[in-house]
Amino acid sequence: MGGEVVRVLVVDDHPALRLGVRVMLEDQPDLRVVGEADGVDPALRLLADSPAEDAPDVVLLDLNLGSGPLQGVELIERLAGQPDAPVVLVFSAYGAAQEVFAALDAGAMGFLGKDVGADALVSAVRAAARGESVLGPVAVDRLLRRMRGGIPALSRREAEVLRLLVDGLSNRQISARLFISEATAKSHLTNIYAKLGVESRGAAVALALREGLLRVG
């Protein structure tokens, strides 16, 4: 992909973390950080403006870019349709089931928690650049439970609605927050109830928290 040196774009809205990642990666002779971005649009602009010699092979992406843990999924989806797009390796503190599934389903090459050590991160970046899937312990656990039928698969929008439901928002508030009609919000809730096998808002919230489908805060 990028010759002997793997070029990395770090996308995270915390400057200190970006600096720490840069130091860890650039301590390796075969890794080079070619850019940093704090959001989806800045990352896309940087990718569009990068000369060929600085085009990243790997995007190291935090899912939570200031407006919720699914924000980073948008970047994965937008990159997935581009020719010669870099691979995406999620590096995120968020590891709830729907967040892991959303990232991988959108096309991420792997998912690591931010609690991994420097050696594991460096190895994961190299593996992703080679086209190998990389999964941290949390992601593996979520996928195994999904394969065993323990966790239902919600769409990205359904996961967003469920998160707002957990936060205590009404149907009207959910529709306003997501810029959808109240009828559409109700339709999403009906689908969520069916997938989770519940019949009420309270039961949906309880199951989401018990099974780790979403995290609060």
pLDDT of the chain along its 217 residues, tens only?
445 899 999 999 999 999 999 999 999 999 999 999 999 999 999 999 989 899 999 999 998 887 666 778 889 988 987 888 899 999 988 666 677 777 888 888 888 888 888 999 999 999 999 988 888 776 666 665 655 555 567 787 888 888 888 878 889 999 999 999 999 999 999 988 888 777 878 778 877 776 666 654 3
Which residue type occupies 213? L
Alpha-carbon span 9 to 86, nearest angstrom: 9
Which residue type occupies 38? D
Residue 214: half-sphere exposure toward Cβ, Cα within 13 Å: 23
Contact by Cβ (8 Å): 100, 145: no
| 51: its two tokens | 């000369």
Candidates 43, 56, 26; CA nearest to 122 is 26
Distance of CA 113 to the CA centre of its chain: 11
Kindly give the residue spans of alpha helices, DSSP state H, lying in the chain. Answer: 15-26, 40-49, 71-80, 97-106, 118-129, 137-147, 156-166, 171-178, 182-196, 201-211
Buried b (16+ CB within 10 A) or exposed e, 176-197: eebebeeebbeebbeebeeebe
- What pLDDT score was predicted for residue 28? 95
- What pLDDT score was predicted for residue 111? 87
Domains of the chain: 6-146 (3.40.50.2300), 156-211 (1.10.10.10)
- What pLDDT score was predicted for residue 193? 86
Candidates 206, 170, 176; CA nearest to 189 is 170
- What pLDDT score was predicted for residue 169? 87
